[in-house]
Amino acid sequence: MQANLLCLFAILSLVFHTAGNTNELAAEAIAKAMASVENARARAEADPSKPVFHITAPANWINDPNGAVFHGGYYHIFYQHNPYGDKWGHMHWGHVRSRDLVKWERLPIALWPSLEAGEEHVFSGCATTNALGQPLVFYTSIKKGKSATDFAEQWAAIGDPGLITWQKHPANPVLAETLHGSTKVYDWRDPFVFHHQGRTLMVLGGNLNRAKGGQAVVTLYEATNQELTKWKYQGVLFTHPDTKVNNIECPNFFPLNGKFVLVVSPHGKVEYFVGDFDARNHSFKWDKRGLIDGSSTYYAPNCMLDPQGRRIMWGWLRGFKEGLGWNGCLSLPRILKIDAEGNLFQSPAPELSNLRTNEMPLGEIPLESGTNSVTGDTAHTIEFSAELECVNPKGFVLRVIRHASPKDAINFTAEELEITPGTNRLRAFVDRSVVEVFANDRKCVSRILPGFGAPELLVITRDGNASLRNMVLWQMGSIW
């Protein structure tokens, strides 16, 4: 506890030292929020279900990843954060960074609601750099007493060179609803900036017809000055093809392997659409669609382009038990690719292998009809890798179970993972209460494993004629 307090005092000193770059009210707001997190930290860290190789807040609530960016030699991730409790509310932006995607460093809270300006919540957004070299974040500002459905503004903040301290931009709001003229966009939020053909553009999510069930859309904007404080509305980029989808949150829009990818969170499973972007006519024509994750546990992703040219994405993993002093984490970093047919592939970042310890080769086992034990009880933090050989994948289930509480089991099916006859590569990551399963470096399903105790991996097959080969189990270390 004393070490934690000393760490807190050091961080608070940094914040107050830089208070002149923001203002005294901001420094006080951040100090108060961080003190609340520190007071909850010991309880949160003592909980045996809190993940250790997924990004979490030190304590209390975390949801959407925000502002994923590589800057100054670091991978930076911001995230929605309630520093005052383990439920949603009082939205701030937490902040972590890493040099290698393996070990992460916690940084002071980056953004706070400016109560003196009537701001109640700092919602999700993105990070970029303008033509003047200024680091910027854009986010949705929610006013106290205003409905987030009917009223929102897009604000910006300027960062110092290290992205540690931030100052709300004097030009706020940098995008207001008046940009739309006679068009009314409801639930207008979650800016995402991208650069294309020398232009800076932004997408936002929302809907055009909230009163009648919604018409889910992604809208497009273009910066008209170098500072990125003035924007022009360029119209609706995308309308969701499913009429039952009535709103879109957290759109990501980016080029990848010669195509453009649009990722949307429609209050359900996160979807992607692959197609072509016509910047001149502000249109996006898609011809492929699918799910980023087979489970609604995964939501509201954000992504970055790193110096290696890789598109890396994180999502929010949700559905944890309440009342533990912490709630929520981010997914493992996923590398996205598009094949020649326009199909989206995703795989865990290869840097994660640096967290492996205690390698345990398990060899090969034939799979009989029924339930097959694969690993026996394992460590609480593992990676499992194997090749599944099967003639008929129908009925295949990968099950993760805790013997201490056998009712606490979760399943991953062949249909979700799109397992096919022949050879299928499986990778499963178990981080205490979080499980992410990848199949063929293409599909992923994430789930929350309830209960406590050592997990075991089981495989269920309908008719046998299958085997697991080249099985290896590793214990995984902490990212902190």
- pTM reported for the whole predicted model: 0.94
pLDDT score for 383: 98
pLDDT score for 13: 47
Mean pLDDT by 10 residues, the chain (480 residues): 44 47 81 97 96 98 98 98 97 98 98 95 98 97 92 97 97 97 96 97 93 87 98 98 95 97 98 97 97 98 98 98 96 96 95 97 95 92 97 95 82 97 98 98 97 91 92 98
Find the largest Cα–Cα distance for the chain: 69
pLDDT score for 90: 96
Task: Annotate 409-463 with DSSP letters as a single string.
Answer: EEEEEHHHHT--SEEEEEEEEEETTEEEEEETTTEEEEEE--S-S-EEEEEEESS
Structure tokens belonging to residue 221: 């904007």
What letter represents residue 379's amino acid? A
Q: How far is CA 240 from CA 237, 273, 336, in A?
A: 10, 10, 22
**All structural domains of the chain:** 2-348 (2.115.10.20), 351-476 (2.60.120.560)
| Beta-sheet strands, E only, within 176-265 | 186-196, 199-207, 216-223, 231-239, 249-256, 259-265
Strand partners, 384: 428, 473
Q: Other C-beta atoms within 10 Å of 32: how many?
A: 13
- C-alpha to C-alpha distance for 166 and 139, rounded to whole angstroms: 13
- C-alpha to C-alpha distance for 352 and 104, rounded to whole angstroms: 12
pLDDT score for 404: 66
Q: Are strands 231-239 and 334-338 parallel, antiparallel or unpaired?
A: unpaired
